[in-house]
Amino acid sequence: MAKISAGMVKELREKTGAGMMDCKNALSEVNGDMDKAVEFLRKKGLATAQKRAGRALNEGIVQSYIHMTGKLGVLVEVNCETDFVAKNEDFQEFAKNIAMHIAASNPLGITPEDVPEDLIEKEKEIYRAQALEMGKPDNVIDKIVEGKLKKFYEESCLLNQPYVRDTDVSVADLLAELIAKIGENISIKRFVRYQIGE
């Protein structure tokens, strides 16, 4: 059994933002392995997020981000359960970071369900034609289309996208970590991105 030092707990806390006891327990659980402890806390955060998913979200903020040139702007609405959390620094920082992420990554929607069906069908047709062009057999084509569609969602749906400031985590992971840390249900409800000339 590895000895869990205060320094290790501090490092994990800085990496994840989780509480001291959660960090200590995570490190104990994975025998002091820092990477596994981070993963352990992420999974725990996701489980917490799923438990809280049914709660009503009647508070929150609308956050803006204007790119330095003034040619690109984003408005995003992030909801939470209480006014107390809406005023929380971590919550507000998250909303700012999400607005900036949207400006940088230009998602089509928040989840795959937000992407118009006709656009998805068009993408599938392109992937199918590419696979046929490569001479792939019919039984493999569907798997190729499915794989490429998954990649398309990762690139175009906000929650699936790798977070621009830390591409090792998705926006969904980031949201789950915040839910676990704050202890309330939080959701990114809607956004609009304006760009001059679009």
115-153 tens-digit pLDDT: 888 999 999 899 888 888 888 877 888 888 888 989 999
Tokens standing for 38? 């981070």
Per residue in 66-124, pLDDT (tens digit) is: 987 889 999 999 999 888 889 999 999 999 999 999 999 999 999 988 888 899 999 98
Per residue in 38-65, pLDDT (tens digit) is: 787 777 765 555 555 555 667 899 999 9
Compute the Cα dihedral for 120, 46, 178, 183 and give only its sign.
Answer: positive
In whole angstroms, give the CA distance from residue 60 to residue 71: 27
* Contacts (Cβ under 8 Å, ≥6 apart) of 11: 34
In whole angstroms, give the CA distance from residue 170 to residue 172: 5
At 1 the three-state DSSP class reads coil
In whole angstroms, give the CA distance from residue 117 to residue 95: 28
The DSSP secondary-structure symbol of 116 reads -
Which CATH topology does 59-110+157-195 take?
A: Tetrahydropterin Synthase; Chain A (3.30.479)
In the CATH hierarchy, which top-level class contains the domain 116-155? mainly alpha
* pLDDT higher at 154 or 50: 154
Other beta carbons less than 10 A from residue 15's beta carbon: 14
Q: Where exactly are the structural domains of the chain?
A: 6-52, 59-110+157-195, 116-155
CATH of domain 6-52: 1.10.8.10
Other beta carbons less than 10 A from residue 174's beta carbon: 20
* Cα 58 to chain centroid, rounded: 21
* Cα 74 to chain centroid, rounded: 17
pLDDT for res 13 = 73
The DSSP secondary-structure symbol of 33 reads -
The DSSP secondary-structure symbol of 169 reads E
